[in-house]
Amino acid sequence: MAILMVLTNAPDQATAERIAHHVVALRVAACVNILAPCRSVYWWQGTIEGTTEVPLMIKTTTDRYPDLERAIKSMHSYDIPEIIALPITAGLPSYLAWVESESRPG
């Protein structure tokens, strides 16, 4: 089974915490790193916008990704939240096995 690193941004620390706890509790992710706030600059509805966001790095499996995406979208306030999945091509085998084990349904 393949392991993924899923990236998303929350509008604030409280939302980041809620999303992180929710996806881990659902077991659609093994772990979520909540990073320091960052400044994002992007196009939105024809203008350049800028805002402070809280990035999340979420570890899951390809099998659990669809459920993880649904869980993030259900809790997110953005019309189109950034949800990007990157394949993990190498890593400590015991860590990758742990991600797989902890991402299994209850």
The tens digit of pLDDT for each residue in 65-85 reads 999 999 999 999 999 999 999
- Residue 45: which pLDDT band, with cuts at 50, 70 and 90? very high
Q: How far apart are CA 103 and CA 77, in angstroms?
A: 25
Which pTM value belongs to this model? 0.94
Task: Give the structural domain span for 79.
Answer: 3-102
| Strand partners for 41 | 50
Q: How far apart are CA 45 and CA 78, in angstroms?
A: 13
- Residue 105: which pLDDT band, with cuts at 50, 70 and 90? confident
Mean per-residue pLDDT for 19-46? 97
Kindly report the average pLDDT of the chain as a whole number. 96
Q: Please give the structure tokens belonging to residue 85.
A: 């999945």
Instruction: Return the CATH number at 65.
Output: 3.30.70.120
* Domain count along the chain: 1
Burial class of residue 34 in the structure, from the number of CB atoms within 10 Å of its CB (0-12 exposed, 13-18 middle, 19+ buried):
middle
106 pLDDT above the threshold of 80: no
